[in-house]
Amino acid sequence: MRVENSSQASSNSNRQFNPFSLAGKLALITGGGTGLGLGMAQAVIDAGGKVILTGRREEVLREAVAQLGEKEAYMVHDITDLASIPALAQAVNDRFGKLDILINNAGIHHKQDAVETSDTDFEKVLLTHVHGAFAMTREFAPSMIKRKEGSIIFISSMSAIMGMPKVIAYSAAKTAVSGMVRALASEFSPHGVRVNAIVPGWIESEMSNKALNSDPERKRKVMSRTPLGHMGKPADIGHAAVFLASPAAQFITGAELRVDGGAGIGF
């Protein structure tokens, strides 16, 4: 017979606790069917959590869920349809129960000289990154605040911390995201809800590959100012998301975590 005293039992319990675990947690990831969203979804699952993916293209979402596992779920939704977001939040609550983690990842890109960027093009980018992300947060935050727990993660960009040509709408949107993170963190954190952002550097994705491969000089510049000398992977962003959503980051809120290979400090 094995007998443990109280100090031994406490020590064993501490060793068993994994501060990076998301076991029993449910995350919703907008734009989760491809690229960074899919990378974050896989990381959440690997950490023991469950995910709901949203996006406009059902076939893409269906393929993503098939890749992630049959226990995961998707809901077709266009984040720019602001009026439909309250119904989405209600549907998630009715079908899946409480949401623990919201990751505002959905995004679009528009590359064009500033003087040629139309009001419509500018508004489309802000509608997705700013208005849509805020509306999602506004609808899901109340239940988190009521329970006094939850993690909300925004995806920012290097364009929010450095000037870049030809992406005026994207830069404006991501700079607004940085401001929202600080304001929401100051408002929600006293209620136990943490709000943070991930600032990806240049990560391999369909969107970034399209942007860089069409502009060799821009790609050369990106590589030259990234000290690690290569682009990141979606999994790198996924691991950062798991960290920020996990108990390991329980004292972190209002932060912008750069995952950029050093680009933010590169010469």
- Annotated catalytic residue: which of 154, 170, 188, 202? 170
Tokens 């680009």 identify what position? 263
Q: What is the pLDDT of residue 13?
A: 52
Is the CB of residue 181 less than 8 Å from the CB of residue 196? Answer: yes
Provide CB contacts within 8 A for 136, sequence distance 6+: 30, 79, 85, 89, 102, 104
Measured CA to CA, the distance from residue 236 to residue 228 in angstroms comes to 13
Active site residue 170: yes
The 3-class secondary structure across the chain, one letter per residue, is: CCCCCHHHHHHHHHHHCCCCCCCCCEEEEECCCCHHHHHHHHHHHHCCCEEEEEECCHHHHHHHHHHHCCCCEEEECCCCCHHHHHHHHHHHHHHHCCCCEEEECCCCCCCECHHHCCHHHHHHHHHHHHHHHHHHHHHHHHHHHHHCCEEEEEECCHHHCCCCCCEHHHHHHHHHHHHHHHHHHHHHHHHCEEEEEEEECCECCHHHHHHHHCCHHHHHHHHHCCCCCCCECHHHHHHHHHHHHCHHHCCCCCCEEEECCCHHHCC
Measured CA to CA, the distance from residue 256 to residue 140 in angstroms comes to 21
Q: Are strands 26-30 and 101-104 parallel, antiparallel or unpaired?
A: parallel
Q: What is the pLDDT of residue 1?
A: 44
Mean pLDDT per 10-residue segment, the chain (267 residues)? 50 75 98 95 98 97 94 96 98 97 95 96 97 98 98 96 93 97 98 98 83 85 91 97 98 98 90
DSSP bridge partners of 197 = 154, 256
Measured CA to CA, the distance from residue 97 to residue 24 in angstroms comes to 12
* Domain annotation for the chain: domains and CATH numbers: 21-260 (3.40.50.720)
| 218 residue type, one letter | R
Structure tokens at 162: 């450095």
Closest CA to 136 of 120, 155, 118: 155
Closest CA to 99 of 24, 184, 27, 49: 27
Measured CA to CA, the distance from residue 198 to residue 178 in angstroms comes to 10
Structure tokens at 79: 């984040």
